Chains A and B, each alone.
Chain A
Amino acid sequence: MSDARTAILDRLRAAASPGEALPALDSTVLERRHWPPAERVLRLRRGMEAVHTEFLEAGPEGWPAVILAFCEREGLKNLLYGPGTSAGARLAEVWPADGTRLVPYDRPVETFKEELFQAVDAGFTTTVGGVAETGGLLLEPGPLEPRLLSLVPPIHLALLFASTIQDTLWSAIRALGWGQALPPNALLISGPSKTADIEQTLAYGVHGPRRLIVILVNDLPRTPA
C-alpha cells in the first residue's frame, strides 16, 4: 500500500511545478446572488416545488399541530423522529396518545432495521438551513437525528425556519462553518428521490422518500407595509 502511495506521490511531485503561481479565484459571480429574507423564502419554495416538494406553512408556535394534522389527514400509522432535539421534544409534548404513533429513533439501527425498512410510514427531521438560489434544505444528521431518518421512510417531513435560509450553497457553507469542520454526515436535499434514467422521463420515489414535506415556519420579523 505504502509502495503505491510513494510511487504515485513521487511521480506527481516530479511533474509538479512548484514555482507556478496559483490562478486567482474571483468569486463575485457567487457574491452577487443575494436576496432579502422574504424573497429567499419565495425562491427556495419555487425551486423545491418545481421538483415536487410539498410545503405546509406554520407559525413559530403552531408547527407541531400542523405536523399532527398532516399525519392524521394522511392516515399515517407512525412517525419516526429524533427525541433528543428541542423540536423533537416539543413534538412529543403535544402528541396525543392515540392516532399516529410517534416513534423515537433512539437505538442502533441494527436493533430495528426490519421495522425501519418495512413498517415506518414517515420520518421527521429538523434542518440547519436552506438554500434560496436553487431551493434545498441543509441537514446535519448525527446522534440526535440519525442518517437514515431522512432516507428510508417513504415520507420525509422536514422542519425549516424561514430565518435560516441562506442565499446560496456557497454562503450557507460559510454561515454554517462547514468549511472548517463537518459532522460525519451533512446533506443538501432539494426534493423527494427521483430518477430520469428511463427515457429521461421523471419518476419520483425511486430509492429514497417518495414525498418530501417541508414545514415552513415563518419566523421572519414583520416588515411594515
Chain B
Amino acid sequence: MPAETEIHFREAAAKALLDPQLRANFRRAMDGLIAKRQAQFPDPKDLQDLRDLSTAIRSRSLLSLPDLLEQLETSCARNGIQVHWAETCEQGNTLILNLLKARGATKLVKGKSMVSEEMHLNAFLEEHGIEALESDLGEYIIQLDGETPSHIIMPAIHKNKGQIARQFSQKIKNAKYTEDVDELTAMARQVLRQKFFEADAGISGVNFAVAETGTLCLVENEGNGRMSTHVPPLHIAVMGLEKVVARLEEVAPLYAILTRSATGQPVSTYFNLISGPRGPEEKDGPREVHLVILDNGRSRIYGDPQLRATLRCIRCGACMNHCPVYTRVGGHAYEAVYPGPIGKILTPQLEGVGVRHDLIHGSSLCGACAEVCPVEIPIPDILVRLRREATHADAGSKVAGKGTGRTLTEDLAWRAWAAVLQRPRLYRASAWLATRFRRFIPGGLPLLRAWTMSRTKPLPAPRSLQERLRSEGLPHV
C-alpha cells in the first residue's frame, strides 16, 4: 500500500486537467452514463421507494453484520464452500497464494474484483511466479499496459478505441491494427478463451453474499465471471466483509438498483448465483470453492456510527459518473483503487485521513453523489466529518490518522480568526484596515496564495457592511 508515500491529488488533478484527450474521453462517457441511468428511472416515486428499500436492506445487514458473517460461514460450509478470514491485505494475499501453491496452480484467470485491486493481488501473485490474468475486457485492456482501473465499473474508460487499437496491435500476437470495436472484442475473445481453457484456478469478487443460503452472487455482462468461476478446477472468491445480506430475496432489489445506477441497464446479461462446488453427480464446475473475507480497516470504519454508512456501498459507481470533479480529472488522478466520491470517503478511512488529506478536500460538496447514491450514503456529510477528523485528534475517534492533517499555517490562521471575531474593537479595526488598504493586501500571503495562484485576487469592498448600515441610519447591528 502506498500509505507512506506522498500522494498529491491536487498535482495529479492539475496535470489531468491539461490533457484534452483524457477530458474528452471522460466527459463523453459520463454524459452517456448519466443519460442512461436517468432513462431507467422514469418515475421518481418508484426510484425513491427502491432507494429507501435498498438503504434499509443494507442498513439492516450492517446492524447484524457479525451474526450474518457467522451465518454465512455456516451456510457456506454446509454447501461445501470453505471460508477464510483475513484481517489485512497481506494476510489475504498469503492465504490465496497458499491455496494456489497447495494445488500446484500457476495459471490464474480473474473476474473483475475491486477487493483484489485493493489487495494488489495480481502483483503479489506475479512476484511468486503465478500468472494472474484479468479476463474482464476492460481489466484486460489496462493490464496489458500495466495500468490501474480509472473507474470501478468501466476500468478502461479513460482510453479511446484508437489507443486500444494501437495497444492490441503491439501486444497481441499476430494482431492487425483495427479500430473496429467488434474486431477488437473478437481478438480479446480469442486470447482469453485459450486462457480460460488452460487455467488452473479462477478468482472472482462477490457482489452480494447471502447468509441464509450460503450463496455468492456475481453480476456481469461478459461471461468472463462465469468462465472464471465454472471452468477451472479451483474457484477463490474474495469479498470485503460488508458484502453480506441476510436473505436472497433482499438481493433482488439491490441487484435491480445496482445495474440501473451503474450503467443504466435494467438487468445485466448474467446474474450468477454460486452456492457450492461441483456436486457428486455434476459433470462440470470447480472441484473446490473458497471464500476469502477481507477486513482491511472495515471493522474500524464499522465502529463509528456515522462513518459506518460508508459500508452500505454496493459499488455501482453512480457517484463518480455524476461527480463534476471526477468527470474533469478522471479516475487516475486520485491515485487510489476507489476513485471518485466513494473513494474520497473510503480511501482516507482505509489509509488514513492525514496521508489522504488532499482527497477529502477535492470536492465542491455539491451533493450530486448523495443525490444519486442508490443506498443514500451521505457522502458530503462524511467528507465534512473527515475534514474535521484530519485536523482534530478527538479522544473517542477511531478514524485512521486522525489529527495528522493539521498544518501550522492553517492552525494559526484559525486562531487569529477566532481572536479577531471575539474582540469587537479588534474586529472593527481589522475591517477598517482591510477596506481602506484593500488594494494593498499582498496576494502572496499564506492561504490567500492558494487562491491567487490561479484566480484574481478578491478585492474587499471600500467600506464594511457595518459602516454602510450605520451611514444609512439603520440601528446598530
Please determine whether A206 and B303 come into contact, CB atoms closer than 8 angstroms.
no
Most chain A CB inside 10 Å of its own CB: which residue of B86, B87, B155, B249: B249
Residues of chain A contacted by B46 (CB below 8 angstroms): 29
Does B166 count as interface, using CB distance less than 8 angstroms? no
Closest-CB distance, B32 to chain A (whole angstroms): 5
Docked complex: A1-57 residues within 8 A CB-CB of B = 1-2, 4-5, 7-9, 11-17, 20, 22-30, 47, 51
B285 is contacted by which of A11, A134, A174, A184 (Cβ under 8 Å)?
A: A184
Q: Could you say which interface size class chain A belongs to?
A: 35 or more
Is B430 part of the contact surface with A, judged by Cβ < 8 Å? no
The verdict on A195 contacting B222 (CB below 8 Å), with A9-B70, A15-B303, A190-B267 known, is yes
Contact B156 A1 (CB under 8 A): no
The stretch of B134-142, B201-209, B431-439 in contact with A is B134-142
**B118 touches A (CB below 8 Å):** no
Min CB distance, B411 to chain A, in Å? 31
Decide if B401 is an interface residue (CB 8 Å cutoff).
Answer: no
A179 touches B266 (CB 8 A): no
Question: Is the C-beta of B270 less than 8 angstroms from some C-beta in chain A?
Answer: yes
Would you call A23 and B60 a contact (CB within 8 A)?
yes
Q: Is A126 an interface residue (CB 8 A)?
A: no
In the assembled complex, the CB of A19 is this many whole angstroms from the nearest CB of chain B, namely: 10
Closest to A131 in B: B267
Distance, CA A206 to CA B181, complexed state (A): 11
> Would you give the 0/1 interface string for A168-205, flagging 1 where the beta carbon is closer than 8 Å to chain B?
11100110001111111111111111111111110101
Q: Is B96 an interface residue (CB 8 A)?
A: no
> Secondary structure at chain A's binding surface: helix, strand, loop or mixed?
loop
Q: Check A185–B269 contact: CB distance below 8 A.
A: no
Decide yes or no whether B29 CB sits under 8 A from chain A.
yes
Interchain Cβ contacts within 8 Å, total number: 264
Residue of A nearest to B304 (CB): A15
- Mask, B255-276, CB within 8 Å of A = 1, is 1100000010011111111111
Cα–Cα, bound, A188→B279 (Å): 20
- A148 close to B (CB within 8 Å): yes
Instruction: For residue A202, give the distance in angstroms from its CB to the closest CB of chain B.
Output: 8
Known: A186-B275, A199-B160. A4 touches B224 (CB 8 A): no
* Contact mask for chain A residues 87-111; partner B; CB cutoff 8 A; 1 contact, 0 none: 0000000000000000001111100
> B122-154 vs A: 1/0 string, CB under 8 Å?
000000000000011110010000000000001
Please tell me which stretch of A67-75, A139-147, A157-165, A213-221 contacts chain B, meaning at least 4 of its Cβ atoms lie within 8 angstroms of it: A139-147
- What's the Cα separation between A147 and B202 when bound, in Å? 15
Q: Give CA–CA (A189, B283) in the complex, Å.
A: 21
Instruction: Check B56 against A24 for contact (C-beta < 8 Å).
Output: yes
Residues of chain A lying within 8 A (CB to CB) of residue B32: 200
Q: Is the CB of A194 within 8 A of B285?
A: no
| Shortest Cβ distance from residue A84 to the other chain B in the assembled complex, whole angstroms | 10
Instruction: Choose, from B183-191, B331-339, B345-353, B468-476, the stretch at the interface.
Output: B183-191
Of the listed stretches B225-233, B362-370, B385-393, name the one at the interface; the rest are far from the partner chain. Answer: B225-233
Q: Is B213 an interface residue (CB 8 A)?
A: yes
Is B277 at the interface (CB under 8 A from chain A)?
A: yes
Neighbouring B residues of A152 by C-beta, 8 Å: 231
> Which residue of chain B has its CB nearest to the CB of A50?
B266
Given contacts A151-B230, A182-B275, contact A117 B269 (CB under 8 A): no
Contact A29 B155, beta carbon cutoff 8 Å: no
Contact B269–A51 (Cβ < 8 Å): yes
B95 contacts partner chain A, Cβ-Cβ < 8 Å = yes
- Is B182's CB under 8 angstroms from A12's CB? no
CB contacts (< 8 Å) of A113 on chain B: these are 197
Given A151-B226, A188-B267, A198-B184, A8 and B56 contact (CB-CB distance below 8 Å):
no
If the complex has contacts A22-B64, A30-B252, A207-B227, are A182 and B302 also in contact, measured as CB distance less than 8 A? Answer: no
- Inter-subunit contact B252/A196 (CB<8 Å): no
- Whether the Cβ atoms of A207 and B223 lie closer than 8 Å is yes
- Please tell me if A129 contacts chain B, counting CB pairs below 8 Å: no
Contacts A169-B252, A185-B273, A191-B269 given; does A206 touch B49 at CB 8 Å: no
B284 at the interface (CB under 8 A from A): yes
CB–CB A47/B266 < 8 A: yes
The reply to whether the CB of B164 lies closer than 8 angstroms to some CB of chain A is yes
Query: Closest CB of chain A to B298's CB: distance in Å?
Result: 9
B86 close to A197 (CB less than 8 A): no
Q: Which residues of A contact B59 (CB under 8 A)?
A: 22-23
**Which residue of chain A lies nearest to B281 when distances are taken between CB atoms in the complex?**
A143
Contact A184 B275 (CB under 8 A): yes
Q: Confirm or deny: B66 has a beta carbon within 8 angstroms of a beta carbon on chain A.
A: yes
Contact A15 B302 (CB under 8 A): yes
Give the distance in Å from the alpha carbon of A143 to the alpha carbon of B252 in the complex: 26
Identify B270's interface contact among A15, A179, A184, A208, CB under 8 A: A208
B97 at the interface (CB under 8 A from A): no
**A interface vs B, CB < 8 Å?**
1-2, 4-5, 7-9, 11-17, 20, 22-30, 47, 51, 105-109, 113-114, 117, 131, 133-136, 142-143, 146-148, 151-152, 168-170, 173-174, 178-201, 203, 205-209
* Residues of B participating in the A interface, judged by any CB pair closer than 8 Å: 25, 28-29, 32-33, 46, 49-50, 52-53, 55-57, 59-60, 63-66, 69-70, 79, 84-87, 91, 95, 135-138, 141, 154-157, 159-161, 164, 181-182, 184-186, 188-189, 192-193, 196-197, 212-213, 215, 221-224, 226-227, 230-231, 241, 247-253, 255-256, 263, 266-279, 281-285, 293, 295, 299-300, 302-303, 305
The 7 closest A-B pairs by CB, nearest first: A208-B223, A143-B281, A197-B138, A184-B276, A29-B49, A170-B252, A134-B267
Known contacts A23-B56, A29-B49; 13 additional CB pairs below 8 A are: A4-B87, A9-B70, A12-B69, A14-B303, A16-B65, A20-B63, A26-B56, A108-B284, A114-B197, A134-B256, A135-B267, A147-B284, A151-B230
